[in-house]
Amino acid sequence: DIVMSQTPLSSPVTLGQPASISCRSSQSLVHSDGNTYLSWLHQRPGQPPRLLIYKISNRFSGVPDRFSGSGAGTDFTLKISRVEAEDVGVYYCTQVTQLPITFGQGTRLEIK
Amino acid sequence: EVQLVESGGGLVQPGGSLRLSCAASGFTFSDHWMRWVRLAPGKGLEWVANISPDGNTRTYVDSVRGRFTISRHNAKNSLYLQMDSLRAEDTAVYYCVRVDGYGYRTFDYWGQGNLVTVSS
């Protein structure tokens, strides 16, 4: 199984400041079709997860452009350019390149 | 508007069974792969099962294979998860999830979730 490791596990940030979350996979996420199926999800307290980013860097419909994804191979990053109050919650990276689908442990973003 | 509404959760004793349902609307259900994903208390997300649009391909995480069965009824726009031989570690909120229709393999829409508690 591909193990997904996120750092940090907790991130206190100041409103208006940037935030960054790292995700590392135990093996390359490049599929035989040439695509890298790495997504980022955000879960607010009491709500289901929602899709932010797919295929490393593509923002899902309605996701603000302050969110961006980057990376390749085994190392990926989610960046928030200016944190807003609604960004609190847990962020997960997930790979769908290979079964079983696996998730990172989650990174809890909180406001200082 | 895409909507996924789960039902059927609740309290069940270890060794018991439960069937989760997910009613889909706002899209052509028969065009999409579907998944079940769960979130156990104090833990992270865990993928449980996938099913193809025609229902012929089903895959499971090792921990539930042989105990859980994913199925669908396209004419009723419904997804199901039959859970047998339930264990305490199956306690979680279970989410019905749509897979995008563009080949990105991603989880583009999620239901609100349904709590399953396995306890005596």
pLDDT at residue number B72 = 98
Q: What is the pLDDT of residues A83-105, one digit of tens each?
A: 999 999 999 999 999 999 999 99
* Closest residue by Cα to residue B56 from B33, B87, B28: B33
- What amino acid is encoded at B25 in this protein? S
| DSSP string of B18-80, one letter each residue | EEEEEEEESS-GGGS-EEEEEE-TTS-EEEEEEE-TTS--EEE-TTTBTTEEEEEEGGGTEEE
What percentage of chain B reaches a pLDDT higher than 70? Answer: 100
Residue A58 is predicted with a pLDDT of 96
Residue B102 has pLDDT above 90, yes or no: no
Stated as kind and residue range, the H or E segment containing A98 is none
CA dihedral A31, B27, B3, B88 (to 10 degrees): -50
Q: Are strands A107-111 and A10-13 parallel, antiparallel or unpaired?
A: parallel
Average pLDDT, chain B: 96
Given A39, A55, A103, which is nearest B44 (Cβ)? Answer: A103
Location of structure tokens 């350019």: A81
Q: Provide, as residue numbers in chain B, all residues whose Cβ is less than 8 Å from the Cβ of A46.
A: none
Q: Under an 8 A CB cutoff, do A51 and B106 touch?
A: yes
Reported confidence tier of residue B101, pLDDT bands at 50, 70, 90:
confident
Q: What is the mean pLDDT of residues A39-64?
A: 96
At B44-96, the pLDDT tens digits run 999 999 999 999 999 999 999 999 999 999 999 999 999 999 999 999 999 99
Residues whose CB falls within 8 Å of the CB of residue A19, separated by 6 or more in sequence, listed in order: A11, A13, A79, A80, A83, A87, A109
**Residue A62, min C-alpha distance to chain B (Å):** 12
Interface of B with A (CB under 8 A): 35, 37, 44-47, 50, 59, 61-62, 95, 100, 104-113
The number of angstroms, rounded, from the C-alpha of B57 to the middle of its chain's C-alpha atoms is 15
